[in-house]
């Protein structure tokens, strides 16, 4: 019995030592008046750095959103797993997730998000010396990262849309109502040409809110399938086949535009990177950290970063 207890103590001590090897630094990066607090975690052996660029909404550094009550914690979970593989990881609170930035968000445009990502990359390059830096863009962040790739060694598009935002919205609306979809297309054309939409269809007011016009107009000027053609660094495109927001077809379209990229489709992984055995668990996984992160995702990213 004494021997069993001794073994147990050694095992627990070993786990403690291993956990203690992960170091964490919280610091603030500023882009003008915008504050981007973030966290860097790493082990002493880490030679490669992953920088995360988030998707749409008020996403914090852990992958949660106060406004939508999303508590999937998927960025934190990926951080922890990559740290175990001696990969350093940095993520930051998106400008829309930090209440201190509220006064500076009135005239926000899509390019501001790109500038934030560039500022983060520049700061980390100046402050630390890593063998390689990989920029991971998730969802909306896939396009942001494409445009902010200067100075990094590798790029990952994770659940990245292939269509411009106007094309994606028109398609989604058309699938529900062809006539309203046609009206949405007309609105986007007017917005692109004039910067305004005079008479918004009542069914489209949530999309075409006047305060969002500058952001949408700037965002719709970029087409991901065209932008990814300009990416010449090693590129990995990942999508899950349980993703109900961005489809496998999006990943395939991005890959067709950049055949030098590697394409990986992960079975049963959804948009928040969790393994979903039952379709009924897809949405609940957005609101709980208890669903398992994809092991294949961790393995795929680790191999790509360290290659």
DSSP codes of every residue in 276-300: -SSGGGTGGGGS-TTSPBPHHHHHH
Interatomic CA distance for residues 231 and 11, integer angstroms: 46
Write the pLDDT tens digit of every residue in 185-224. Answer: 999 999 999 999 999 999 999 999 999 999 999 999 999 9
Is the Cβ–Cβ distance between 65 and 76 less than 8 Å?
Answer: no
Interatomic CA distance for residues 270 and 264, integer angstroms: 14
Write the pLDDT tens digit of every residue in 167-187. Answer: 999 999 999 999 999 999 999
The CATH class given to the 23-162+222-306 domain equals alpha beta
The reported pTM is 0.91
Write the pLDDT tens digit of every residue in 214-273. Answer: 999 999 999 999 999 999 999 999 999 999 999 999 999 999 999 999 999 999 999 999
- Candidates 255, 52, 239, 77; CA nearest to 160 is 239
pLDDT reported for residue 254 = 98
Q: Is the pLDDT of residue 9 over 90?
A: no
What's the per-residue H, E or C state across 149-180? CCCCCEEEEECCCCCCHHHHHHHHHHHHCHHH
DSSP string, 63-113: S-BTTTTB---HHHHHHHHHHHTTEEEEEE--GGG-GGGGGG-TT--HHHH
Range 133-152 average pLDDT: 98
CA distances, 245 to each of 44, 55, 188, 225, 274 (Å): 37, 11, 21, 17, 14
SS3 of residue 52 by DSSP? strand
pLDDT reported for residue 2 = 41
**How much of the chain is in helix, strand and coil states, percent to nearest 5?**
45, 20, 35
pLDDT reported for residue 5 = 38
Interatomic CA distance for residues 50 and 151, integer angstroms: 13
pLDDT reported for residue 161 = 97
Q: Is the pLDDT of residue 99 over 70?
A: yes
- Candidates 181, 126, 117; CA nearest to 149 is 117
- Determine the Cα angle at 81 with ends 287 and 66, to 5°: 25
- Candidates 77, 66, 48, 245; CA nearest to 158 is 245
Q: Which residues contact 103 (CB under 8 A, 6 or more apart)?
A: none
Is the Cβ–Cβ distance between 155 and 149 less than 8 Å?
Answer: yes
pLDDT reported for residue 13 = 39
pLDDT reported for residue 92 = 98
Question: How is residue 276 written in tokens?
Answer: 């979903």
Model confidence at 42, pLDDT cuts 50, 70, 90, reads very high
Interatomic CA distance for residues 223 and 301, integer angstroms: 25
Q: Is the pLDDT of residue 21 over 70?
A: yes
Matching residue, tokens 């919280």: 26
pLDDT over 70 percentage in the chain: 93
Domain range annotation of the chain? 23-162+222-306, 165-220
Rounded mean pLDDT of the chain? 93
What region does 109 belong to: left with phi over 0, alpha with psi -120 to 50, or beta?
beta
Phi and psi at 265, nearest 5°, equal: -105, 125
pLDDT reported for residue 4 = 40
Interatomic CA distance for residues 36 and 91, integer angstroms: 10
């Amino acid at each position: 019995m004494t021997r069993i207890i001794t073994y147990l103590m050694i095992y627990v001590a070993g786990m403690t030592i291993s956990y203690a090897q992960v170091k964490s630094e919280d610091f603030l990066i500023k882009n003008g008046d915008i504050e981007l607090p973030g966290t860097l975690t790493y082990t002493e052996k880490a030679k490669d750095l992953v920088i995360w660029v988030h998707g749409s909404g008020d996403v914090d550094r852990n992958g949660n959103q106060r406004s939508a009550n999303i508590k999937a914690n998927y960025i934190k979970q990926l951080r922890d797993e990559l740290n175990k593989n001696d990969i350093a990881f940095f993520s930051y609170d998106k400008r829309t997730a930090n209440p201190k930035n509220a006064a500076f968000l009135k005239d926000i445009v899509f390019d501001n998000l790109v500038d934030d990502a560039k500022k983060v990359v520049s700061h980390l390059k100046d402050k630390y010396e890593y063998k390689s830096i990989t920029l991971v863009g998730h969802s909306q962040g896939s396009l942001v990262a494409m445009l902010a790739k200067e100075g990094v060694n590798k790029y990952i598009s994770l659940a990245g849309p292939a269509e411009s935002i106007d094309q994606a919205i028109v398609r989604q609306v058309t699938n529900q109502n062809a006539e309203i979809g046609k009206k949405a297309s007309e609105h986007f054309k007017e917005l692109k040409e004039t910067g305004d939409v005079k008479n918004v269809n009542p069914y489209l007011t949530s999309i075409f809110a006047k305060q969002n016009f500058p952001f949408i107009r700037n965002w719709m000027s970029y087409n991901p399938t065209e932008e990814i053609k300009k990416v010449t660094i090693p590129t990995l495109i990942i999508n899950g086949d349980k993703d109900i927001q961005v489809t496998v077809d999006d990943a395939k379209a991005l890959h067709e535009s950049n055949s030098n990229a590697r394409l990986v489709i992960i079975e049963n992984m959804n948009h928040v990177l969790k393994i979903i055995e039952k379709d009924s668990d897809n949405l609940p996984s957005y609101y709980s950290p208890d669903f398992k992160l994809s092991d294949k995702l961790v393995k795929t990213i680790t191999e790509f970063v360290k290659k």
